[in-house]
């Protein structure tokens, strides 16, 4: 058996395998071989996955004053837990991925030789076990985004019930804060399970989630925040039971819909704060793409941060990472002067004047590590946060009011990991591109709306 190139991140596993992951793969083979054997050896979740269940939050964002579920809907199907997707023989891996409905990048331009996990967003069963505890086979992915971070030790599959458009109710197979594992994140839980198919919602054969809800179990899911949702409030935990989302579309709806109607990933929040790297850390087993904070990439020039929260992974094609240099490819910021004049901020590195005060976008962060240059193999965390890092005066920065993803013309849309790559398999339907998005920016310069919860007093993995 070959034990290489399990990736992780939305199931994209960029890292070489540890003995633990090889062990998990062996368990998968046993599971396929016979349920009795699987039951005997798979009672315990992987040790790595348990690192994500420790209750540590450091300056984690509250995205609204009140706790709620901001989004919860199908991301993509079939590509989570694909046996052989990480095979070192890339022809074997590509065939396995395409057979499962995934895509495989061609003509990659990389300084290093691309591995299977550079070519595809499909994950291996062993890679799933690394972050989620147990392997799964050919599952769908469904991110659930809350307005407050979760209390990690309360997260389990039995906290969720998914109602499908055909009336079926299903429980996920997996649930974890992965890949939103940094201590200043953790408001998104990703679920794996069997949540539908790839027919568009206009097709009578279509099955997709129409309700995603938090239900009671032995240890009901709790969120952590502060009274009133303000920095000064007392730290509280609240039950998430009863919170729900009601999707009406499938990510497999027509990708050629008008840009405003596309059913790909969206934004659910954007917040401006003073730059801080507090909480920019993760448990030991999850540090491969760290540090990825603004100061690590842009040094002392990093003075302000606009962090965005998305409903699912953001990639230019479903597979490749976003690069720190690509602000202008996807985004623009809108500032309003005191007299109401609109200023579009479109170019990184350019100095803009707002009411005579300077502002500059340095670039993007919360992707991967700083490199001297970036290519098709750039490894990033593939979670659902991206930071825009700025320098300039507070007077100018505080006038930034909107973040826009035009998603057409000279602007690229985003795809979740179910996207088509650059060489989709003919006849296979992939998840849709993002719509045009206009997101109001929360001004957190005075009140950053963040919460720290650290009962054990340390941040080590």
Rg (CA), the chain: 21
**169 near 34, Cβ under 8 Å?**
no
Partners of 235 in beta bridges: 226
Closer residue to Ca ion in complex, CB, 102/324: 324
- Residue number with CB closer to Ca ion (9 or 200): 9
Strands, E assignment, 165-303: 169-170, 174-176, 188-193, 209-214, 222-226, 235-239, 244-245, 267-274
Identity of the residue, 162 or 364, whose beta carbon is nearer to Ca ion in the bound complex: 364
CB 129 → Ca ion: shortest distance, Å?
21
Q: How far apart are CA 272 and CA 277, in angstroms?
A: 14
Shortest Cβ distance from residue 94 to Ca ion (Å)?
Answer: 27
Q: In whole angstroms, what is the distance from residue 369 CA to residue 293 CA?
A: 8
Q: Which helix (H) or strand (E) holds 439?
A: strand 437-440
Closest contact distance (angstroms) between CB of 59 and Ca ion is: 11
Residue 453 contacts residue 57 (beta carbons within 8 Å): yes
Checking DSSP bridges between strand 57-61 and strand 450-453, what pairing results, if any? antiparallel
**Is the CB of 118 or the CB of 280 nearer to Ca ion?**
280
Matching residue, tokens 């019930």:
161
Q: Are 171 and 217 in contact (CB under 8 A)?
A: no
Q: At closest approach, how far in Å is the CB of 177 from Ca ion?
A: 11
Q: How far is the CB of 287 from Ca ion (least distance, A)?
A: 11
Shortest approach of Ca ion to residue 67 CB, angstroms?
Answer: 21
Pick left, alpha or beta for residue 133 (phi over 0 → left; psi -120 to 50 → alpha; otherwise beta).
Answer: left
Task: Indicate the residue among 367 and 404 with the shorter CB distance to Ca ion.
Answer: 367
DSSP-assigned states of every residue in 55-74? --EEEEEP-SSS--EEEE--
State in angstroms the smallest separation of the CB of 208 from Ca ion.
26
Complex with Ca ion: residue 157 or 279, whichever CB lies closer: 279
Cβ proximity to Ca ion: between 10 and 148 the closer is 10
Q: Checking DSSP bridges between strand 442-443 and strand 267-274, what pairing results, if any?
A: parallel
> Interface residues with Ca ion (CB under 5 A)?
182, 280, 292, 366, 381, 383, 385
């Amino acid at each position: 058996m070959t034990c290489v190139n399990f990736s992780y991140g939305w199931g994209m596993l960029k890292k070489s395998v540890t003995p633990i992951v090889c062990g998990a793969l062996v368990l998968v083979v046993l599971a396929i071989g016979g349920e009795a054997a699987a039951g005997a050896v798979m009672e315990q979740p992987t040790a790595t996955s348990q690192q994500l269940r420790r209750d540590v939050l450091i300056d984690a964002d509250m995205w609204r004053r009140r706790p709620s579920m901001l989004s919860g809907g199908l991301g993509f199907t079939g590509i989570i837990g694909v046996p052989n997707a990480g095979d070192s023989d890339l022809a074997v891996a590509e065939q396995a991925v395409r057979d499962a409905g995934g895509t495989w990048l061609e003509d990659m331009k990389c300084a290093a030789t691309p591995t299977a996990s550079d070519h595809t967003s499909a994950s291996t069963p062993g890679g799933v076990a690394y972050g989620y505890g147990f392997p799964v086979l050919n599952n769908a992915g469904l991110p659930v985004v809350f307005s407050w971070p979760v209390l990690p030790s309360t997260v389990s599959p039995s906290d969720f019930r998914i109602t499908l458009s055909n009336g079926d109710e299903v429980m996920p197979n997996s649930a974890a804060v992965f890949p939103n594992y940094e201590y200043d994140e953790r408001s998104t839980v990703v679920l794996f399970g069997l949540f539908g198919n790839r027919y568009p919602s206009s097709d009578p054969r279509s099955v997709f989630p129409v309700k995603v809800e938090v239900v009671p179990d032995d240890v009901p899911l709790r969120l952590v925040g502060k009274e009133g949702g303000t920095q000064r409030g007392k730290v509280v935990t609240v039950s998430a039971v009863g919170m729900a989302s009601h999707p009406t579309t499938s990510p497999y709806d027509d990708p050629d819909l008008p840009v405003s109607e596309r059913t790909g990933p969206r934004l659910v929040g954007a917040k401006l704060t003073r730059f801080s790297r507090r909480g920019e850390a993760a448990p030991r087993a999850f540090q491969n793409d760290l540090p990825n904070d603004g100061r690590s990439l842009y040094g002392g020039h990093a003075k302000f941060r606009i962090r965005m929260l998305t409903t699912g992974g953001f990639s230019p094609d479903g597979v490749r990472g976003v690069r720190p240099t690509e602000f202008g490819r996807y985004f623009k910021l809108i500032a309003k002067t005191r007299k109401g004049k609109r200023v579009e901020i479109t170019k990184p590195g350019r100095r803009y004047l707002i009411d005579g005060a300077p502002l500059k976008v340095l670039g993007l962060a919360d992707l991967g590590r700083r490199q001297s240059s970036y290519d098709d193999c750039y490894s990033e965390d593939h979670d659902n946060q991206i930071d825009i890092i700025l320098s300039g005066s507070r007077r100018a920065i505080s006038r930034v009011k909107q973040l826009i993803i035009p998603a057409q013309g000279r602007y690229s849309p985003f795809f979740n990991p179910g996207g088509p790559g650059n060489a989709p398999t003919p006849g296979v339907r992939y998840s849709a591109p993002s719509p045009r998005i206009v997101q109001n920016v929360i001004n957190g310069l005075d009140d950053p709306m963040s919460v720290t919860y650290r009962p054990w007093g340390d941040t080590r993995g």
